[in-house]
Amino acid sequence: MINYSGTQTLETDRLVLRKIELTDAQRVFDHWLSDDRVMDNLIKGAHKSVSETIERVTEIVSKYDTQEFCYWGIELKASGELIGAIDLFNFDNKTENCEVGYSIGYKWWNKGYGTEALRAVIEFGFRHMKIHKISAAHNTDNPASGKIMRKVGMEQEGTIKHMIRNAKNHYKDCAVYGLLQEDYLKMLNKKV
């Protein structure tokens, strides 16, 4: 059974994963939701106005009372900058599986922050929440995201043609990855 406990603050060497707040809306807009380079990889596309982001952030904040809601802002410890978001979603209580998704602002790409955040959330999911399997997908034209998934131990399980249609009305193929709790724990034991 999944051990739901809401969005708890998580810390890594360089990051604090925390609840997003209404006061973060402008930074969320500026740092990633308004950037086509980041949002091209997501279905809804880039936000055109901060009011769209305020609406989205308000929706996120309203769900924090629910124990099944796991959505973190990714903040740099050193500067306090909010650089992205990561969440666990699509929980299936029968299989005890879920999915993970993340977005990092373009300015912070290729610095290891995505890997660090994903590693922390996967650890939380498997060790604390007792998730059986965590899956993720990325557009095949965004191989850097797959690199992040592989770095944390996820394995590509296949490719789904035309899995999404983005805001520009283009279909995109997605590579699907997964990691089982038992494989994650074995991987940790090998490192010890």
pLDDT at 43: 66
Residue range 80-120, pLDDT digits in tens: 999 999 999 999 999 999 999 999 999 999 999 999 999 99
DSSP string, 79-123: T--EEEEEEEEEEETTTTEEEEEEEE-GGGTTSSHHHHHHHHHHH
Region 158-168: mean pLDDT is 86
Q: How far apart are CA 177 and CA 183, in angstroms?
A: 13
Q: Give the total residue count for the chain.
A: 192
pTM of the prediction?
Answer: 0.94
Please, are residues 102 and 151 in contact by the beta-carbon 8 Å criterion?
A: no
AA identity, residue 25: A
Q: What is the pLDDT of residue 41?
A: 66
How far apart CA 9 and CA 16 sit, in angstroms, is 7
Q: What is the rounded CA–CA span in Å between residue 72 and residue 122?
A: 13
Alpha-carbon span 71 to 56, nearest angstrom: 12
